[in-house]
Chain A
């Protein structure tokens, strides 16, 4: 049955209009930001444009923590969008972020995930680059036995590893491809910047480890996941069963910078039956864990808040119980992305705090008591989106507007995000 007939049968007016358009002519549903057309998750040309506009454009993208590259010459590989970069501590003690592709013929220079070197040598023709990317050596530059070599006017200073603009905020490392991007502070805006500094306020960091997932869904579904406090109390039964989160806890959902970024604020409270829990099917009142330390945080932040930050496009910053983590989003095509979790603490954490931080990592990662389910539903969502580009998701929980709200029973963060996204992508 052709798309427009299906749309007719199901009363899908917006869908009918879109199904009759030629491929490539995309029109957002007439309802505006209360609808998200499924083609945003499945259109490969749109995906390419997103990479250029967001990851390779005037955005600050998270690439690592300074504790991952502790000494001069220490490096790690990372990604911005689909481009691999090298994050390295220079001889002077600063941080450089370099494209991991030789200035010669584009071959990958750095073949290990982490290491320590005095300089970078491309394995192919052994062009040698300083830690800041400057080309400092070309074998056989003057030829051999009087023949060959580079032309005398070859200017080595023009052919280094491309260095990105870097900003280090309290130990978190950010980079941008765009020399004209606003400052990191302006890119975040004051609210997000304040919460970033709450985590990265100058205390030396301690690296606890990584988890990596490959999730077969569009990368924006993860961005939306951390703008969807509505699902947290319903899907993540562990959270509500053991009192880490509740729909009736004092909380806030704050879109910032026009909807690009987002802040979710809650509190860790105990388990309590209430009118709200009776509506949540999965709440199990009689359940208790044997090892209570796994879910009992030690008070760490004076404000008593639990804060999740969505810093578009590259990362979500979590702080839940005593686990702190950076969740880096690395797209791998229109229907797949890597989620790289970096768990950290502070160098001056006592043994008890480290013990708790490690216990609480069980909440997150691919086996996380909370996070496991996000991976599950994202894949289900991608499967539902595939083949249905002409239909749209409905986002009216919490109303139809895009203003900040002082509760979590809302999709305001997602509506705001797509209001912003349409403008940024000219849709």
Chain B
């Protein structure tokens, strides 16, 4: 069927869809490395001046600054990973991320504000998976040398409690 849309308008819609798909792929890639026990690769997806924070909905809604995991800059993110691998003692378990509702909320210069829902299950080595943490990512992405990187990732958790421990970044 011949299109009656002007070529300019069609490509704007295509661009938005392409960007969403690119963000979707990034989110899936980061979730996969976490689920696959390759947390060392996480900093590859962040800028040096990044903010990574896991924060409860309670703190987020009240504007309180304390988080569950707080990394102010790539150094603290790398330190968190060193601690997980070298000093932390914990019962082995596996996690799995389920991400949905990936949306672009705003674009401001070269910054892209995006969000998505996440659900993470947890399974101890001798037990079945349970719903562990549910929440929303509030992200700011920037493009560096063609790649989308996180300048900010907030994982805002709907949970009132974390059951037992949160070992890995979400």
Q: Residues of A at under 8 Å CB distance from B?
A: 113-114, 207-216, 235, 237-238, 241, 282, 284, 287, 289-291, 294, 338, 343, 354, 358-359, 361-362, 365-367, 369, 372-373, 375-376, 379-380
Contacts and interface: CB of A to CB of B under 8 A. Distances in A.
B66 A343 contact: yes
A258 B72 CA distance: 44
A163 B76 CA distance: 46
B164 A373 contact: no
Given A291-B76, A365-B68, A367-B165, A210 B59 contact: yes
A291 to B, nearest CB: 4
A214 B66 CA distance: 18
Interface size class of B (residues with CB under 8 A): 35 or more
A213 B66 contact: no
A376 B56 CA distance: 21
A94 B160 CA distance: 29
B73 interface: yes
B70 A358 contact: yes
A209 B67 contact: yes
B82 interface: yes
A290 B166 contact: no
Interface stretch (B13-21, B83-91, B114-122): B83-91
B163 to A, nearest CB: 5
Interface in B52-71: 54, 56, 58-59, 62, 64-70
B86 A208 contact: no
A290 B79 contact: yes
Given A369-B88, A372-B167, A373-B89, A290 B75 contact: yes
Contacts of B165: 213, 366-367, 372, 375-376
A210 B83 contact: no
A289 B160 CA distance: 31
B66 A359 contact: no
B33 interface: no
13 contacts: A209-B62, A209-B64, A210-B56, A212-B56, A213-B161, A213-B165, A235-B89, A290-B78, A291-B76, A358-B70, A367-B166, A369-B87, A372-B167
Interface of B: 54, 56, 58-59, 62, 64-70, 72-73, 75-76, 78-80, 82-83, 86-91, 160-167
A367 B69 contact: yes
A208 B69 contact: no
B164 A379 contact: yes
Given A213-B165, A359-B76, A376-B165, 5 more contacts: A210-B58, A211-B66, A237-B88, A367-B162, A379-B91
Given A113-B58, A235-B89, A372-B88, A289 B164 contact: no
Contact of A212 (B79, B80, B160): B160
A362 B70 contact: yes
Contacts of B88: 237-238, 369, 372-373
Given A213-B161, A294-B76, A284 B86 contact: yes
Nearest to A238: B87
Contact of B79 (A214, A291, A366): A291
B67 A376 contact: no
B126 to A, nearest CB: 11
B73 A380 contact: no
A213 B166 CA distance: 9
Contacts of B56: 209-212
A214 B58 contact: no
Nearest to B78: A290
A210 B64 contact: yes
B66 A210 contact: yes
A369 B83 contact: yes
B167 A367 contact: yes
B100 to A, nearest CB: 24
A65 B75 CA distance: 33
A250 B80 CA distance: 29
Q: State the 5 A-B residue pairs at the shortest beta-carbon distance, nearest first.
A: A209-B66, A209-B64, A290-B75, A214-B161, A366-B162
A376 B90 contact: yes
A225 to B, nearest CB: 14
Contacts of B68: 211, 365-367
Contact of B164 (A114, A213, A235, A359): A213
A367 B133 CA distance: 13
B62 A114 contact: yes
Nearest to A323: B66
Nearest to A242: B87
A338 B160 CA distance: 10
Nearest to B89: A373
Contacts of B73: 291
B161 A338 contact: yes
B79 to A, nearest CB: 5
Contacts of B72: 291, 358-359
Contact of B91 (A282, A361, A376): A376
A114 B58 CA distance: 10
Contact of B66 (A208, A238, A289, A369): A208
Contacts of B160: 212
Contacts of A208: 64-66
